């Protein structure tokens, strides 16, 4: 660092950052004219967005530097959140709001000849995630910064995020999402690199004391380069760091020999192979495909992150036994589980610690969050692949397993079945490494993401581990969402109305203050304004539907929304079967009777994994139903079916505030938590849902009179499945009529949907669509009836919002901090 006498000059010129409109405009013009080399004669909206973002980025970087200095000086414990997905969405609006300068920017941009809304729209979503798991990580980063926790996120800098979805002739088509063309929010750190090793072999030697030492040698080296993104807290100077690793050929790897010998192509090929590691996000949600490149991604990211964390710790010159007093690492699902093995390797092979001492450090450092019980999502890697790619890690895994099984044996003597059941190595053909088991054994706490889910993991998939380690190791932290993005940013008018009734914007930092809203519930003017805001949000969505799909929908109709990844367990098929049932019922009515019906718009959105054939069929059916229903003159406004293309975070910010009713209708016991359910209720929409995931806790908080619950309970699911397979499984008349309509070609080529119908009718109906159909239809009827009484409906919405305080990700992060990480916020003076 700079010697004392010269520091004066630095202090004198310290960057201050703009605080008013003039200062903001000056920065924008400077960036347009210098950074972008443009002028007022060729500054379009894209350039205005770039310059505005750069102006805010400069501010963030200044605070980001100070925050890092503060944290280093304080030398307190830090949290590291390891996640393969961070579904961040757009950054500009969030940055403006979090630093409290959106109004300043709005005024300034206006004077410079643009509208802030148009500028915000220019930004490409950072879509480095699939769905809820990735968005949860993004909400957590917002809360960690807003609550002043010293915390870093670590992930991969994918060149391609989740694909862009186009709907062509009713089918999903995937288009690559190249998002890095211009990204002002990232900060390349070409000086922060880590060389990562793959393949090779292990040689053992004896050291001077006769101790065996392992040396991992040979193989290939790929370099990880750090790219940092500042994460601003809301109404605090704290700005944390999200570090994403990008892969490139190591300088040793680019083979100049080959290059000079004219073997140009193969030296370029080596380089491309290295860059492939961080090239694409795997587009599967809740599914493990076991691809070698995915395992490479996992190790690459985990090894680079741990190297960074260990390097930072070593600078403090503390003893190793203090490691877990300084470092808490959270494993977001099993994707980063190799971190457990890698830290053990660093401590034993490189730092020379004894196995037991190292293992104590490892297990007190890690916490593991499980996000699903779906068997197809639980990661397993073939032993052979692990041996090939990471030979030393496989040895360590075997040793971890050996010592673990020895303790199990002691506790449960002669219980061979127990040993087989809990072994980290599955004795299958081929043998597999069970990553969740490794994560449990390597962590001091394991949590689920909603009460039902945490109960389920403790009584089903991880039951034996509860017996072995005791119940204290297992806990629940119910998910949450950041009210900054999901209320203040997405629904500014509602946020202002709430502020006016709760005594300012304090609720954005303490969401329980929403409860003050109930005091105003009898205020007719308040309810009227509430209804007007919802209507305005619906009008905005109506315009978007008109513009993108050329379908006219009536903003006074009930907007019924199901937007999320397409998955059989989430049951979009139940929804569309219900829509078909409604259509058939309307068609069967006399014109007089029809006039009495409540108009409804059924809105769908979401991506299917490219290889998930059935999910793509579901998308196709929804679109075909829309094509028939939307142009049926007998139906008119009474029913419209809309498929919104390319659902993502920024679209969610428009859709969520516009919903009257949203659907969270997974088969009970399958949706670990769900988080959009929270977003919809927070924005004054009611929900129809099953007794699953966080729906249960939402019901407990807002009251069962404010939610439309239906369907099978999770404890009955197994019996029903058994009965479908071994008993006689019949489908009721209403659902059969739906199937008949599909099969007589009402919605296009029946063969296209044969498998979908057969899955329910003939093949065991694993997701219990037939069992829940009738109660779903009945509950939708109740919805229609209740919606007619608008005054009562709005009271329900207000009451629900007032009781949503629990679902802030701030509450959630505080629970992790206290119960799992043992970290404290770093107070900013
Ligand atoms: C998920 C769960 O499916 C979802 O219910 C949960 O809300 C999120 C966040 O905890 O995690 N698990 C998972 O693998 N994905 C999820 O969205 N992709």
Q: What is the DSSP string of 598-638?
A: PPEEEEEE-PPPTT-HHHHHHHHHHHHHHHHHTT-TTTGGG
What is the best residue among 673, 678, 697 to mutate for testing ligand 1's pocket, by most ligand atoms within 8 Å of CB?
A: 673
Q: What is the pTM of this model?
A: 0.98
CA 673 – ligand 1 centroid, Å: 7
Strand partners, 127: 87
Q: What is the pLDDT of residue 827?
A: 86
CA of 459 to the centre of ligand 1 (A): 19
Residue with tokens 């491309």: 272
List helix spans (H) across 132-199.
132-146
Q: What's the confidence (pLDDT) of residue 86?
A: 98
Q: Compute the distance between CA of residue 691 and CA of residue 669 in angstroms, rounded to an integer.
A: 8
- Cβ atoms of 80 and 305 closer than 8 Å: yes
Ligand 1 pocket (Cβ < 6 Å) reads 130-133, 136, 285-286, 371-372, 377, 449, 479, 671-675, 693
State the distance from the centre of ligand 1 to the C-alpha of 483, rounded, in angstroms: 19
Give pLDDT, residue 728: 86
Residue from 85, 86, 133, 446 to probe ligand 1 pocket by mutation (most atoms less than 8 Å from CB): 133
Nearest ligand 1 atom, CA 333: 14
Q: Could you please report the per-residue DSSP string of 36-81?
A: S---TTS--HHHHHHHHHHHHHHHHHHHHHHHHHHHHHHT--EEEE
CA atoms within 13 A on the CB side of 753: 29
pLDDT along the chain (829 residues), means of 10: 91 90 97 97 97 96 95 96 98 98 98 98 98 98 98 98 98 95 94 98 94 96 98 98 96 64 79 95 96 98 98 98 98 98 98 98 98 97 98 98 98 97 98 98 99 98 98 98 98 98 98 98 98 98 98 98 98 98 98 97 98 98 98 98 98 99 98 98 98 98 98 98 93 97 98 97 97 98 98 98 98 98 92
Closest CA relative to residue 92, chosen from 578, 659, 485, 629:
485
**For residue 131, how far is its CA from the centre of ligand 1 (angstroms)?**
7
| Spatial separation of the C-alpha atoms in residues 618 and 95, rounded to whole Å | 37
**Alpha-carbon distance 62 to 230, whole Å?**
10
Could you tell me whether strands 474-476 and 600-605 are parallel, antiparallel, or unpaired per DSSP bridges?
Answer: unpaired
- Three-class SS state of 463: helix
Residue 441: strand, helix, or coil: helix
Query: CA-to-CA distance for 180 and 158, rounded, in angstroms?
Result: 9
Cα 771 to averaged position of ligand 1 atoms, centre (Å)? 24
* Distance between CA atoms of residues 18 and 84, nearest Å: 35
CA of 372 to the centre of ligand 1 (A): 6
- Cα 523 to chain centroid distance, Å, stands at 38
Catalytic residues: 371, 564-565, 570, 675, 679
The 3-class secondary structure across 747-813, one letter per residue, is CCCHHHHHHHHHHHHCCCCCCCHHHHHHHHHHHHHHHHHHHHCHHHHHHHHHHHHHCCHHHEHHHHH
CA of 668 to the centre of ligand 1 (A): 15
Q: What is the pLDDT of residue 576?
A: 99
> Of all protein residues, whose CA lies closest to atom 9 belonging to ligand 1?
133
Sequence-separated (6 or more) residues with CB below 8 Å from residue 255: 263, 266, 267, 270
Distance from Cα 670 to the centre of ligand 1, integer Å? 10
pLDDT at 789: 98
Instruction: Give the closest residue (by CA) to ligand 1 atom 11.
Output: 133
Which of 84, 286, 567, 665 gets mutated to test ligand 1 (max ligand atoms within 8 A of its CB)?
Answer: 286
- Out of 131, 373, 457, give the residue to mutate to test ligand 1, the one with the largest number of ligand atoms within 8 Å of its CB: 131
Q: Which atom of ligand 1 lies nearest, measured to the CA of 132?
A: 17
Q: CA 665, 668, 669: angle at the middle one, nearest 5? A: 125
Atom of ligand 1 nearest to the CA of 671: 5
CB within 8 Å of 389: residues ≥ 6 apart: 198, 199, 292, 295, 296, 299
Closest residue (by CA) to atom 7 of ligand 1?
Answer: 674
Query: What is the structure's pLDDT at 721?
Result: 97
State which ligand 1 atom lies nearest to the alpha carbon of 453: 5
Distance, CA of 652 to chain centre: 13
Looking from the CA of 264 toward its CB, the CA atoms found within 13 Å total 1
Ligand 1 atom closest to Cα of residue 85: 18
> CA-to-CA distance for 482 and 809, rounded, in angstroms?
5
End-to-end CA distance of the chain: 24
- In 3D, which of 186, 189, 164 has the Cα closest to residue 174? 164
Nearest CA to ligand 1 atom 17: 132
Q: Indicate the top mutation candidate among 127, 130, 372 to test ligand 1's pocket, ranked by most ligand atoms within 8 A of CB.
A: 372
Of ligand 1's atoms, which has the minimum distance to the CA of residue 369? 10
Which tokens belong to 277?
């590691």
ipTM for the predicted complex: 0.99
Task: Give the model's pLDDT for residue 829.
Answer: 74
**Residue 198 near residue 218, CB atoms below 8 Å:** no
- Give nearest CA residue, ligand 1 atom 14: 286
CA of 452 to the centre of ligand 1 (A): 14
CB 542 within 8 A of CB 555: yes
């Amino acid at each position: 660092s700079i010697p004392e006498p010269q520091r004066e000059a630095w202090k004198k010129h310290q960057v201050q950052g703009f605080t008013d409109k003039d200062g903001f405009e000056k920065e924008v013009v400077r960036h347009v004219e210098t950074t972008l080399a443009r002028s007022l004669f060729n500054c379009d909206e894209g350039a205005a967005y770039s310059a505005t973002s750069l102006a805010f980025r400069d501010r963030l970087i200044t605070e980001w530097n100070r925050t890092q200095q503060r944290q280093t000086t304080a030398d307190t414990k830090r949290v590291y959140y390891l996640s393969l997905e961070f579904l961040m969405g757009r950054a500009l609006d969030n940055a403006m709001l979090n630093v409290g300068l959106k109004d300043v920017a709005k005024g300034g941009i206006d004077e410079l000849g643009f509208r802030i809304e148009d500028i915000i729209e220019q930004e490409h979503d950072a879509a480095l995630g699939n769905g809820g798991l990735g968005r949860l990580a993004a909400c957590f980063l917002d809360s960690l910064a807003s609550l002043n926790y010293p915390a870093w996120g670590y992930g991969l800098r994918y060149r391609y995020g989740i694909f862009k979805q186009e709907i062509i002739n009713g089918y999903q088509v995937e288009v690559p999402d190249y998002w890095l063309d211009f990204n002002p929010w990232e900060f390349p750190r070409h000086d922060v690199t880590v060389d990562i090793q793959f393949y090779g072999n292990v040689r053992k030697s004896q050291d001077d004391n006769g101790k065996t030492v392992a040396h991992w040698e040979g193989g290939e080296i790929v370099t990880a380069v750090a790219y940092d993104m500042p994460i601003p807290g809301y109404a605090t100077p704290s700005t944390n760091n999200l570090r994403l690793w990008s892969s490139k050929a190591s300088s040793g790897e680019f083979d100049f020999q080959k290059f000079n010998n004219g073997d140009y192509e193969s030296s370029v090929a080596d380089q491309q192979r290295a860059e492939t590691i961080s090239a694409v996000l795997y587009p599967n949600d809740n599914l493990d495909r076991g691809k070698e490149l995915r395992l490479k991604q996992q190790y690459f990211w985990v090894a680079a992150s741990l190297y960074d964390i260990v390097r930072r710790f070593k600078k403090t010159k503390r003893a190793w036994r203090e490691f877990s007093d300084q470092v808490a690492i959270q494993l977001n699902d099993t994707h980063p589980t190799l971190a457990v093995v890698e830290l053990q390797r660093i401590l034993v092979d490189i730092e020379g610690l004894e196995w037991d001492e190292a293992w104590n450090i490892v297990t007190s450092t890690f916490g593991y969050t499980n996000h699903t019980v779906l068997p197809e999502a639980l990661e397993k890697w073939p032993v052979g692949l692990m041996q090939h790619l990471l030979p030393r890690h496989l040895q360590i895994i075997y040793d971890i397993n050996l010592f673990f099984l020895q303790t199990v044996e002691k506790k449960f003597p002669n219980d061979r079945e127990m040993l087989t059941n809990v072994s980290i190595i599955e004795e299958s053909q081929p043998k597999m490494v069970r990553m969740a088991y490794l994560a449990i054994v390597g962590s001091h706490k394991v949590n689920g993401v909603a009460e039902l889910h945490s109960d389920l993991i403790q009584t089903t998939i991880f039951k034996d581990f509860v017996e072995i380690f005791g119940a204290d190791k297992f806990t629940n932290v119910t998910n949450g969402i950041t009210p900054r993005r999901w209320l203040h940013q997405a629904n500014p008018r509602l946020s202002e109305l709430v502020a006016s009734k709760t005594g300012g914007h304090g609720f954005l930092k303490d969401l329980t203050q929403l409860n003050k809203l109930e005091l105003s519930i009898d205020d007719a003017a308040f309810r009227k304004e509430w209804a007007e805001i919802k209507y305005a949000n619906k009008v905005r969505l109506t315009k978007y539907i008109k513009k993108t799909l050329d379908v006219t929908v009536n903003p006074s109709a009930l907007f019924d929304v199901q937007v999320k990844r397409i998955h059989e367990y989430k049951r979009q098929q139940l929804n569309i079967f219900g829509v078909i049932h409604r259509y058939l019922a309307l068609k069967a009515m006399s014109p007089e009777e029809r006039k009495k019906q409540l108009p409804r718009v059924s809105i769908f959105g979401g991506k299917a994994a490219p290889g998930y054939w059935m999910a793509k069929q579901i998308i196709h059916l929804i679109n075909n139903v829309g094509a028939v229903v939307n142009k049926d003159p007998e139906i008119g406004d009474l029913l419209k079916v809309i498929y919104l293309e390319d659902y993502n975070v920024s679209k969610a910010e428009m859709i969520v505030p516009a919903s009257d009713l949203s659907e969270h209708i997974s088969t009970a016991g399958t949706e670990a938590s769900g988080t959009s359910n929270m977003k919809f209720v927070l924005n004054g929409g009611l929900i129809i849902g099953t007794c699953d995931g966080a729906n249960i806790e939402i019901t407990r908080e807002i009251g069962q009179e404010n939610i439309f619950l239906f369907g099978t309970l999770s404890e009955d699911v197994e019996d029903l499945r058994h009965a479908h397979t071994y008993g006689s499984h019949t489908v009721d008349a209403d659902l059969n009529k739906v199937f008949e309509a599909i099969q007589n070609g009402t919605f296009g080529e029946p063969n296209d949907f044969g498998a979908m119908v057969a899955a329910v009718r003939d093949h065991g109906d694993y997701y219990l669509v037939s069992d829940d159909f009738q109660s779903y239809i009945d509950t939708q009827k109740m919805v229609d009836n209740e919606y007619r009484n608008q005054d009562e409906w709005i009271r329900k919405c207000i009451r629900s919002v007032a009781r949503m305080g629990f679902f802030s990700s701030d509450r959630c992060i505080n629970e992790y901090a206290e119960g799992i990480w043992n970290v404290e916020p770093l107070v900013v003076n």
